[in-house]
Every structure is written in C-alpha cells, then in structure tokens.
C-alpha cells in the first residue's frame, strides 16, 4: 500500500521558480532511487532528475543548472527545486520511487498522481 503524493505545482511566469515535493508512505522497508518525470501534451514521458539512496544525482540535459533534486530520507521525501523556468518546462510532473516493501524481496517502482506545472511566457 505504498503511496506517493506530489505537491507544489502551479502557474509561474517564465524565469520564475517552483519547488515540488513528494512524500512516500505506506508499507516501506527502504527506498532506493527517487526521481521526477514529466509529460507534456502530445509528448512522451521523460526523466527529469533522479537521486540515488546515496545522494548521487543525474539530470536530463535540458534542466541541468536550473533544477536541483534532493531527498530527505528521514521524512521519505524527494524535492525538485526548479529555477529559471521556461515555457518548455510546462508539463505534468510525476514523482517516482523504487521501493522495497519487505527485506529480501525485489523492489517495485511506484508513481504519484502527478502535479501540473505551467510556465507562461
């Protein structure tokens, strides 16, 4: 019964900032990687940023230098700080996490419901 819930989306002007948050709850033994994906209308879902359990990060090229992913293991949360937003960043943003529900069992991937980010020009 793992759940991921995103928050923080909204409407912002080009050049502005938003911070997305995602909280994991439920039957969790541990969390491996956590990440953010986005999907714009008519386009494929793409990886935006990912962070490992050790704190190592990777970003898609289009957001490097503008977005920062972070996690709080104690709170079971992941964040995406988005600065210098562009209209092309407009999309539904989804939180994801690879979670082991029980020890010695393989992890499963979970997804949040998504939060809309709209950047106006």
User: How would you write the pLDDT of the chain (121 residues) with one tens digit per residue?
Assistant: 899 999 999 999 999 999 999 999 999 999 999 999 999 999 999 999 999 999 999 999 999 999 999 999 999 999 999 999 999 999 999 999 999 999 999 999 999 999 999 999 9
Q: Would you state the pLDDT for residue 46? A: 97
Q: Would you state the pLDDT for residue 98? A: 98
In 3-117, alpha helices (H): none
**Token pair listed for 2:** 């793992």
What 8-state DSSP symbol labels residue 4?
E
Q: Would you state the pLDDT for residue 1? A: 86
Q: Cα dist. 41→47, 50, 51, 71, 117 in Å?
A: 15, 22, 26, 28, 12
Name the pairing type of β-strands 115-120 and 10-13: parallel
């Amino acid at each position: 019964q793992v759940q991921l819930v995103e928050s923080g989306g909204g409407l912002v002007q080009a050049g502005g900032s938003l911070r997305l948050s995602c909280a994991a709850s439920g039957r969790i033994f541990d969390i491996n990687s956590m990440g953010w994906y986005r999907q714009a209308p008519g386009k494929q879902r793409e990886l935006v940023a990912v962070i490992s359990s050790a704190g190592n990060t990777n970003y898609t090229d289009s957001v490097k230098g503008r977005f920062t992913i972070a996690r709080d293991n104690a709170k079971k949360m992941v964040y995406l700080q988005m600065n210098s937003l562009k209209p092309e960043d407009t999309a539904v943003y989804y939180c994801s996490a690879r979670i082991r529900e029980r020890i010695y069992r393989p992890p499963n991937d979970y997804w949040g419901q998504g939060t809309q980010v709209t950047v106006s020009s």
